[in-house]
Each structure stands twice: as C-alpha cells, then as structure tokens.
Structure 1
Amino acid sequence: MSVIDEFRDINALEIAAGKSNCLFYTTGNQVQMLSPNTKTKVLHNFSLHQPTTLLITEDNIVVGVIEDKGKKSKIKLQAKLVVLDISGKSKVTYENDRNGIPLFIYHFPRSITSTENGGLCFIDCLSIDDYLGRIVMFSENRFIQWTYEGNPSINTNENPFSAVEVLATKSENVIVSDKFTNTLHIISKHGDILSMMDLCHVGIEKPGVMAIDKSGYLWVAVHGRWLYRLELSGM
C-alpha cells in the first residue's frame, strides 16, 4: 500500500465518492467537493443546519441534516433530508411524508442508502453517541413504506437495537449492522426480516460502517481498526 495524495485541513466528517473521481464530503455546515484536479469547492452551505450523513446517487446528493432548536424547545434537534443536485443547488427538503407523518422521531440521521426503484432508506437515531433508533424506508412517491426497530428475539432493554449502517442490495433487500448485538439484520424490500447473522460465529464483534463493492462483497469495519470482507449469497 502506498499514499498517492495527501490533503490537509479538510476536516471531513462524512465522505462519498461520485462520478468522474470526485469526492464529496461534509465539514462543519457545508457539503464540499474535491475534484480530480485536487481543487475544493463549497457546493452547499446549510448555515444553521449541520449535515450528519450524505449519499451520492446517479443524479443527486442526499444529505441528512439537523437543526439545533435551542434550550427552550422541547425538541432540541430537528432532522430532515435535503436533496441537492450535483452542483449543490437545493431541490427538495423532506421532513414528513405525503400523509404528514414525520420521517424522524429520534431526530438524528445516521446513514442513508438508496434502492434500485428510487426509494431512500435511512437510520433515525437519538444522537451520534446514542444508537437507539429505527430504520425508515421512504418511497420515491414520498410515503413511509415501513419502519424497523429491531427483532425482539435479540433486541431487548439490555441489548437495544443499535444500527450503525444501512445498505441496500441489488435485490432491494436492506442490510443493517447492529453494533452491540454483533448482528447483521437482513430486511426485505417490504420490511420483513429475512434473516439475522451472528457475526461472532466468524470472529467479528461490534460491526460498524459497511460498504458493498462492485463484486458484491460486503465490507464491515470494526472499531476503526479492522476491516472484513464477507461473501453473502442471495442478497
């Protein structure tokens, strides 16, 4: 392994790769882009809002943001999904679905993925340090299709659902890493649990962020120190 490039003072909190070898990232209140010619550009400044996660789709940048409501508000943080075009121009903001149902009840967007049919699936949790929350599937038609808050066979008061990353597969199933139960939850596109995989059986504990590569392998990071590649069939 060798270092090809080094960029200092970027302060990236979340990164995502786009077309043409561009790298998108969040820093402070902004979404920025690092181009192949190593120039940085501010695509969007959210001002009082703070980006917590982002997703690059074929045509858009989807950003989960939070707004600090202050001490006087019962809801300290207000979350929303903001869709930008690739140039950074705001296209639409989602706080509720078409029925007026709030997308976020825990008020912290942790991870976003997109399905082949244009839906968005994301983690709605309490905070960056508290994983208690749920998975929400938001359809292209702006309806909440389903939510998932863990499986009672393993998720209890002592071992609550602790979702770190959510990924959509080519078959539109969803994979969720459940950190403190050492489990991967495999959920169908209809919100039904298909299977749960105890990663302790393969020597993996406290799974964190994940990615699926072009060959279909699942990469799982643990503690920021180890990276595992897994082969999952039929996903």
Structure 2
Amino acid sequence: MAYSASVKRSQDIIVCGLCEKDSKVKVKCMDCDLYLCQTCKEKGHAKFKNADLHDVVALKDIHSHEAKSEFKPVQCEEHVKQYSCMYCLTCEQLVCPICISKTHHKHDMGEMETIFKNKFTQVQGFRQKVENQMEEVLEKLGLLQESKEKDENLIKELQKIEESFEKKDTKKFIDGTRNFQSDMEKFNNSISIFEKLLENIPKSVVKDITFKKKGKYKTSHLYYHLISITSDEDGKLWIADGDQCIKQLEITDGVNAVNSYKIEGDINEIRCLNKNKIYFTSSTQILCLIRKNTIKMLKDFTPNKVFTIHISKGDEIIVGMDLHETERSDDQPVIIRLDFDGKIIQVYKNSGGQLLTRDIVQCCTTFKDGTICYLDNPLFAENTFGGVVHIDKNGIIQWKYIGNPFIDCEDQPFSPIEVITTPSNNLIISDKFVGALHILTSKGTLLTFLDLKSIGIYTPSVMTMDIHGTLWIKSREKEIQFLNAVKCSGL
C-alpha cells in the first residue's frame, strides 16, 4: 500500500514544460498548453512569437479560468511592430492603427469579432450547401461518385476554417477565408451549369452512370510523346510513343515496357486485333505488326494519306483519312472499310464536302449495327473546334455533335480527341480544352458529362477501354505525363 501511495504522489507532481526541472510551477500558458516556472515564464516563454498576446494564467486560477472569447490581434504584415486591431471591409484584410491612418482612413471598417462571426456564418452555410445541393444535383446527373472526393476535400477545408474560429485563431481563420469568396463563386457557377444541363437532358435518358479513378501512374520521359494507346484481348495496354516504337506496357507501381518494337516510318495510330497482331497507320499505308517483330503491309493508299484505324466487332478494319494537304473534291475518300486481307469493302467519299468539313478523321469507332462514328477535326486545334459525326452504312449523315454550350465556349471550344463505343452501345468522347468526357447515346443524345478535373485528371488526350471496362486516359500536369485508370459503370 505504501508503494502505491508513493506512485500516486509522483504522478501528481507537475514540472515546468520548458526546463523540465523546476517543480515550482507558477503559471500555465493556455495558448502553448505549457506549465511554466517563474524563471521560464520571464526568460524562456517571453521569447516566443507574440508571447505578450498569449493567455497566461496563474496556477491557482486554472480551474476558474475561462478561455478568452475574443480573437487575438496578429502582427501587421506591413508594420512589424504593430498589431491588427480592425478589419478593412473595402480591402478585405486586417489592419493596424498605422494602416488605418495612412492607407485605409476612408475605407469601411468593422470590428474583428463582428466581421469574423459573419464570415463564420457564411462558411457554415456554404459547407451545408456543398454537402446537400451538389450531391442532389450530381446524383440526378449520375455524376455523384467522381465528384465525391473533390467535395469531401472542400468540406474538410471549410471545417478547418470553422475550427480556427472556435479556437479564436485569428491568422488561421483569415488565411482560411482568404479564397473563400472565389471558392463559393466557383461552386455556385458549377451548380448553375449542372442545373442548366439537367434542363437540356431528357429525363428518360439519364442513367446511373458512375466513374471512379482506380489509379494514376506517372510515366517516364520515354513515354512523353505517347500518341496512341490501345488494349488487347488480355487487357494489356499497347502504345505508339512517337519515337517510331510500339510498346507493350506493364502497369504495377509505375509504367514499364515489357516488349518494344522499332518501326521504320512514322506511326499515327495503333489498334489491336489480338496480342499477336497490332495494326497501325503510317503515312499512306496500313501495316500489321506480327509477333517476332514481323511487319506486314496490309494496304497502300498512295497518294492518299491515312490517319486513324479501328477494328470493328464485325471483323472489319475502318480507316480514316487525312485530307489536310489535299485539294477538296467529291472523289476524295474519307472513310474506307477493309477486310483483314486488305480488300476494300466500301469507300465513303467526301460528296459535297460534308463528311469531312475540316482536315482529318482523327478517330473512329463503330456501333453494334456496324454504322460508323468518327471525329471530324482540324489537324491543329488551337482555335478551331471539332465535331462528332455518325453515318449509316450508305454514308448518309445521321447526326453531328459539336459539344455542349454550357461547358464549351469560344475560349474553350469543343475539341474531341478520342471517341470510344461502350459495351452498352453508347459513346465516350474526350474533350481536350474543357478537360471533360461527353457521354452520348447512339442517337447522338447527351446522357451526361464528366469533368475530369473533379477526379484529378488534367489535360486529357488519347484513351482506350480494356476488356475489364477500365478506361485508360493519358493526361499531363505541367511537364509530367500520367496514365489514369478510371472504372466506369452504367455505360
């Protein structure tokens, strides 16, 4: 029993939190959460930043002490020996007495406590709006999943601002609310866009479509010029890297090439029939890479240039042409169907210049009925928009899609990079300038769209969908290239 009492008494002894020696503790700093002896209070703690503003309480008064309810002044950014005392509503910043007399004397001023309470109320209201309204709108659009992470991060930031208010931490509260107004405007603008989009989408076609990013893989400098990507029957990825190489990739913690094939001549686009046959376009030719690095020419269209290629479910090869250096005529081929022996099945010519109004067929795909959908794009899409075109088996245009006016504009025109047919016979179209995916039905009706930035994908370019339903999208952030894996459902 004596031993237990000794232990208990030792646990009750409080020593100074700075020197950790003196047990004659006199005060506690509520801001630092430190007990202090008299020497450390006068010599050590006094050197702390803004120590004169700290809430230091005598030990005997700890239990009856109430935390200060007002915000503490912070050191003025302009006048280091002064402390803020007011909030300038005109400039939206804290000001000290010198600031007021020299620069802000004609401005609207407010007491810090009053202004901060108003800002706190706004932050609370905004957080509730983010939690409720965005979820409600996006759920109707089938976009709830991919925006969830973005919304949760915003909510966490708002909660941090609220916590700094509760703790009366002036600097953290001001820093947190510095960009609050612009964040709120961006959010409200997004809500407005989504609501307008809802008005223009028939309710009968809105489905439970979700996107979830599975992985983001940084690529090495070897893949900086990745110009085309495809996947084979095993779900393996293949790329053309712009350095006259076709590579099979393995993606684990990073992106690595397990097979590499050097090609003589330029490569525009590659597509897989299976893991042993890779078809690709080069200048005027369609070529086939067979295992053991054997190259076979399937078709030479000289003098016409080819650009894109697609392997259809109906065992056909769809070829899209490059007309950017050609004088336009009605006899120019725009789309050509081939069999796997290179025999021409059908040619769609540019009658009246309608099938191709710009420069190239940048990408093409087919629906389940064998009809073709392709991108009618300028070769250099800096200031010119592109379009999506659907033709029937006779080459008659069924519909055109040139973007959505609520997300595409003059400064960011619709610039489609790739078009893919989904298992449900819908289309996924990547939009370069806006950084979005447009989801269309086979009738050309907009189902929904995905802002790729909401799932951390910026400046998208080429993409492919593998047999597992994973969408692989190449993206760029500054000078770094990534391959992003996005799981899609409801498509």
TM-score scaled by structure 2?
A: 0.44
Question: 1:20: Cα distance to partner?
Answer: 6.4
Gaps of 5+ in 1: none
Question: 1:4: Cα distance to partner?
Answer: 3.2
Distance 1:5 1:154 in 2: 40
- 2:321 is equivalent to residue 69 of structure 1: no
- 2:378 is equivalent to residue 126 of structure 1: yes
Question: 1:42: Cα distance to partner?
Answer: 1.2
Distance 1:105 1:79, change over 3 A: farther
In structure 2, the residue matched to 1:113 is 365
Q: Among 483, 486, 490, which residue is 1:227 paired with?
A: 483
> Does the CA-based 8 Å contact 2:306-2:319 persist in structure 1?
yes
> Does the CA-based 8 Å contact 1:66-1:79 persist in structure 2?
no
Partner amino acid, structure 2, of 1:154? I
Distance 1:200 1:11, change over 3 A: same
In structure 1, the residue matched to 2:470 is 217
- 2:455 is equivalent to residue 199 of structure 1: no
Distance 2:311 2:488 in 1: 24
> Does the CA-based 8 Å contact 2:363-2:417 persist in structure 1?
yes
Question: 1:25: Cα distance to partner?
Answer: 0.9
Distance 1:187 1:178 in 2: 13
In structure 2, the residue matched to 1:14 is 269
Distance 1:222 1:192 in 2: 27
RMSD: 2.2
Deviation track 1:39-74 (CA, whole Å, cap 9, x = no partner) reads: 21111111111111111124211111134335xx6x
> Does the CA-based 8 Å contact 1:205-1:222 persist in structure 2?
yes
Distance 1:79 1:125 in 2: 16
In structure 1, the residue matched to 2:297 is 42
Q: Among 306, 315, 323, which residue is 1:59 paired with?
A: 315
Partner amino acid, structure 2, of 1:53? T
Question: 1:146: Cα distance to partner?
Answer: 1.2
In structure 2, the residue matched to 1:172 is 425
Distance 1:179 1:38, change over 3 A: same
- 2:334 is equivalent to residue 85 of structure 1: no
Distance 1:11 1:96 in 2: 26
In the alignment of these two chains, the number of paired residues is 228
Higher percent of residues as helix: 2
Question: 1:135: Cα distance to partner?
Answer: 0.3
Higher percent of residues as strand: 1
Distance 1:11 1:140 in 2: 31
Give SS of 1:16's match.
strand
TM-score scaled by structure 1?
A: 0.88
> Does the CA-based 8 Å contact 2:333-2:348 persist in structure 1?
no
Deviation track 1:183-226 (CA, whole Å, cap 9, x = no partner) reads: 11011111111111111111111111111111111111114821
After the TM superposition, list the runs of 4 or more consecutive aligned residues in structure 1 that deviate by more than 6 angstroms. Answer: none
Distance 2:428 2:275 in 1: 27
Distance 2:274 2:484 in 1: 26
Question: 1:129: Cα distance to partner?
Answer: 4.5
Distance 1:169 1:2 in 2: 27
Question: 1:10: Cα distance to partner?
Answer: 5.1
Partner amino acid, structure 2, of 1:109? V
Deviation track 1:12-55 (CA, whole Å, cap 9, x = no partner) reads: 22111114621111112111111124221111111111111111
> Does the CA-based 8 Å contact 1:26-1:51 persist in structure 2?
yes
In structure 2, the residue matched to 1:158 is 411
Q: Among 378, 381, 400, which residue is 1:147 paired with?
A: 400
Partner amino acid, structure 2, of 1:120? I
Question: 1:231: Cα distance to partner?
Answer: 1.4
Distance 1:189 1:200, change over 3 A: same
Question: 1:133: Cα distance to partner?
Answer: 1.2
Give SS of 2:404's match.
coil
Partner amino acid, structure 2, of 1:14? E
Give SS of 1:215's match.
coil
Distance 1:87 1:103 in 2: 26
Give SS of 1:201's match.
helix
Gaps of 5+ in 2: 1-255
> Does the CA-based 8 Å contact 2:372-2:393 persist in structure 1?
yes
